[in-house]
Structure 1
Amino acid sequence: MKKIGLFGGTFDPPHYGHLLMANEVKAALSLDEIWFIPNRIPPHKQDEEHSGSHHRMNMLKLAIEGHQEFHTEKIELERQGPSFTYDTMVLLKERHPDKKFYFIIGADMIEYLPNWHMIDELVSILQFVGVKRHGYKTKSPYPIIEVEAPQFEVSSTMLRERFASGYPTDYLLPEKVKTYIEEKHLYGTE
Structure 2
Amino acid sequence: MVRKAIFGGTFDPIHKGHINVAYDALNIFNLDKVIFVPAGNPPHKLGIDKTDSNIRYKMVNMAISKEKDFEVSDYEIKNKDISYTYKTLRYFNELEPLTEWYFITGEDCFSYLEKWKNIEEIFNRCKFVVFRRQEFENKSEIIHKRENIIKKYTDKILFIDKPILNISSTKIRKCVRENKEIYDYVPMEVYDFIAQNNLYKK
Class of the TM-score when normalised by the shorter of the 2 chains:
over 0.9
Aligned-partner SS, 1:5: strand
Q: Which runs of 5+ in 1 are unaligned?
A: none
| Matching residue of 2:13 | 13
User: In the alignment, does 2:141 pair up with 1:124?
Assistant: no
Q: Percent identity?
A: 31
SS of aligned partner of 1:25: helix
Specify the SS of the correspondent of 2:93. Answer: helix
1:91 matched residue in structure 2: 91
What is aligned with 1:29?
29
- Aligned mate of 1:157, from 161, 165, 170: 170
Deviation at 1:47, TM superposition (A): 2.4
CA distance, structure 1, for counterparts of residue 99 and residue 120 of structure 2: 21
Shift of 1:125: 1.1
Q: Secondary structure at the match of 2:173?
A: helix
- Which is richer in helix? 2
Q: TM-score, normalised by structure 1?
A: 0.94
Q: Which residue of 2 aligns with 1:144?
A: 157
Q: How does 1:97-116 map to 2 (within 5 A)?
A: 97-116=97-116
The 8 Å contact of residues 4 and 34 in structure 1, kept in 2 or not, is answered as yes
Which amino acid in structure 1 is aligned with residue 33 of structure 2? E
The amino acid that maps onto 1:8 is G
Q: Distance in 2 between matches of 1:34 and 1:89?
A: 14
Q: Distance in 2 between matches of 1:82 and 1:11?
A: 17
3-state secondary structure, aligned to 1:87: helix
| Cα distance in 1, alignment partners of residues 86 and 13 from structure 2 | 24
Question: Offset at 1:132?
Answer: 2.6
The question of 1:78 aligning with 2:91 is answered no
TM-score of the aligned structures, taking structure 2 as reference length:
0.89
1:81 Cα shift? 2.4
Cα deviation digits, residues 47-94 of structure 1 (max 9, x gap): 211111111011001111211101001111111121001011111111
Deviation digits for residues 135-183 of structure 1 (CA, Å, limit 9, x no counterpart): 3524213331112234311111111111111111121111110110111
Q: How many angstroms apart in 1 are the aligned matches of 2:71 and 2:164?
A: 23
Structure 1 match to 2:201:
188
Paired residues in the alignment total 189
Partner residue of 1:42? Answer: 42
Alpha-carbon displacement from aligned partner over 1:3-29 (angstroms, at most 9, x marks no partner): 001100000000001001111111110
- Is 2:68 aligned against 1:51? no
Which position in structure 1 is the counterpart of 2:189?
176
CA distance in 2, matches of 1:75, 1:99: 18
What is residue 167 of structure 1 aligned with on the other side?
A: 180
Gap runs ≥5 in structure 2: none
Q: Quick check: 1:53–1:77 contact (8 Å CA) kept in 2?
A: yes
| One-letter amino acid of the counterpart of residue 116, structure 1 | W
SS at match of 2:125: coil
